[in-house]
Amino acid sequence: MSIRLGKFRPLAMLKRAVRDEGGVSAVTVAISLAVLAPMALGIFDVFSMTEQRGKLQDALDAAALYAARSPVFTTPEIDTIGDKSLLANLQLIHGASLKASNFVLQGNQVVADASVQLAAYAPMEFTHQPVQVHSEVTRAGNNLEVALVLDNTGSMAGTPMTQLQSAANQLIDLVVADTQTPYYTKMAVVPYSNAVNAGAYVNAVRGPATVAQSPIQAACTNQPGCTKMKFTTAAGGSAVTWNVSNCVSERIGVHAYDDVAPTAAFPNTYVGWVYPPSNGSNPCIATGIQPLTSNKTTLHNLINGLTTGGSTAGHIGVGWGWYMVSPNWGGLWPSGSQPANYASDHLIKAVILMTDGAFNTAYCKGAVSQLSSATDGSAGASNTHTNCASPNGDAFSQAQTLCTAMKGHPNNIVIYTVGFLHGGNDPQAAAILSNCATDAQHYYLPTTGGSLQAAFQSIAADLNRLRISH
């Protein structure tokens, strides 16, 4: 026997049930509707929630990625950029509204959350929680090693130094990140005037001094290396005897323009000595070098303690800016201050060179050389110069050669130059800085404290852009 099934027609069955005079079917249908209708509406809510969650997740992921790629480094800035991007990309279904969004910078990650409130169709007995999604994006990044080389010469005394300190302190806060993982940012500081103070590192970079006997013997005459040196000045007359200092001058010979590390095994790799004049002109600069560090307090304390005096041996500052980020010199510094290798992945090395005037001071055998300035007597009187010429030539040509070597392969160091010409136009200073900078976009000539601060802010923004790009 076979049974023939007809088509299932729920609407027709419902109509027949409603017409049932016995009322049993009507009651059943009414109960069913009371149960099934809210369930159907609840299912519609779930469907709407699922659809909206997908749209919200896509928009939040895109906004977090956009914020991560932006050149900003504070949570308020990240939040503003993320919110704008989310609103531009978010598709809301009918009746839905964005309830909240939040973008936070946590280390090198942008962490984002957002929620949307849906229109509710099911009865209030059903839970109507907002749709919530979460997204995290790790920013692309680079490690950053920066040497800040600052002019501390006598012409910076007073207001110019105060303005420099303010701008440099802001630069530190903008560049050195509070979180040093997964990428680090470190800064070194090289104050310079007529020389650079090597501080506790002086014997390692120059060699230890031999105690000079009294009276001075030949080994300590016209030859650096003793605690005192006797020599004839460019003014002539009787020989003078000056004491050695912790300051150092340029390196000469085959390693004058490279970053080979100084070592006792090869004395020709040592940097030059400095015997400051006994009359107090061109003294050894008071503040010493600071190797790479991420400790902002250390950096701020050094900047706030800067003093002024002396003429401008800018080429020595240039050389030491290079040494601070050179891996070849790393063995001289504490472990946390040792620069990474040039070929390291995700690494940017930069030198920021600031001066307020032309370079006018070079050395010969530990004293300022005869005719040290190419244009005038700004490096001091002849009775404070030795009677021999600098083996490397003037400070301008030395600085140019060092900059060219730094920028070249395999070093590829980015060089920013800042000429703080608060005293007016200085063509020679402008020429030095223009030639030394990586290119015209890395060259600044501020004339006021405000424009100096703006220049440092621009450099900080560019360094931060480099930090988050490959």
Q: What is the pLDDT of residues 380-392, one digit of tens each?
A: 888 999 999 999 9
Alpha carbon 276 to chain centroid, angstroms: 34
- In sequence order, the 6+-apart residues with CB closer than 8 A to the CB of 369 are 362, 363, 385, 386, 388, 389, 390
Distance CA 449, CA 170 (A): 13
Residue 77: predicted pLDDT: 93
- Residues pairing with 148 in the sheet: 189, 352
Cα(first)–Cα(last) distance of the chain, in Å? Answer: 79
What are the start-end ranges of the E strands in 277-412?
290-293, 347-355, 363-364, 367-368
- Residues pairing with 90 in the sheet: none
Average pLDDT over residues 234-258: 96
Residues 163-189 pLDDT 10s? 999 999 999 999 999 888 888 999 999
pLDDT at 9 over 80: no
Average pLDDT over residues 106-125: 80
Residue 129: predicted pLDDT: 82
Q: What tokens were used for 272?
A: 């030059």
The greatest distance separating any two alpha carbons of the chain, rounded to the nearest whole angstrom, comes to 140
Residue 372: predicted pLDDT: 64
Residues 394-410 pLDDT 10s? 999 999 999 999 999 99
Angle at 207 between CA 197 and CA 192, to 5 degrees: 15
Percent of the chain with pLDDT over 90: 74
Q: What tokens were used for 304?
A: 């706030």
Average pLDDT over residues 24-30: 53
Residue 70: predicted pLDDT: 84
Average pLDDT over residues 352-360: 94
User: CB count, 10 Å around CB of 316?
Assistant: 32
- For residue 391, the 8-state DSSP code is T
Distance CA 457, CA 451 (A): 10
- Residues pairing with 220 in the sheet: none
Of 399, 195, 157, 156, the residue nearest 313 (C-alpha): 195
Residues 264-296 pLDDT 10s? 999 999 999 999 999 999 999 999 999 999 999
Give domain limits for the chain.
10-138, 143-467
Residue 95: predicted pLDDT: 85
Contact predicate 152/193, CB 8 Å: yes
Residues 35-56 pLDDT 10s? 555 555 555 556 788 888 999 9
The type of residue at 21 is E
Kindly list the strands in the beta sheet with 131-138, ordered across the sheet, starting from the edge strand earlier in the chain. Answer: 97-106, 109-117, 131-138
Distance CA 46, CA 110 (A): 30
Average pLDDT over residues 221-234: 96
Strand, coil or helix: what is 191? strand
pLDDT at 110 over 70: yes
Please state the φ and ψ torsions of residue 142, each to the nearest 5 degrees: -135, 150
> Cis link prior to 71 (omega < 30° from 0)?
no
Q: What tokens were used for 367?
A: 């004293």
Residue 308: predicted pLDDT: 97
Residue 2: predicted pLDDT: 37
Kindly list the strands in the beta sheet with 196-197, ordered across the sheet, starting from the edge strand earlier in the chain. Answer: 196-197, 247-249, 272-273
Query: DSSP alpha helices (H): ranges in 255-335?
Result: 296-304, 314-325
- In sequence order, the 6+-apart residues with CB closer than 8 A to the CB of 361 are 194, 282, 310, 311, 312, 313, 368, 372, 373, 379, 395
Distance CA 443, CA 417 (A): 5
Residue 395: predicted pLDDT: 94
Percent of the chain with pLDDT over 70: 86
Identify the residue whose tokens are 């802001």: 170
CATH of 143-467, one of 3.40.309.10, 3.30.590.20, 3.40.50.620, 3.40.50.410: 3.40.50.410
Residue 5: predicted pLDDT: 38
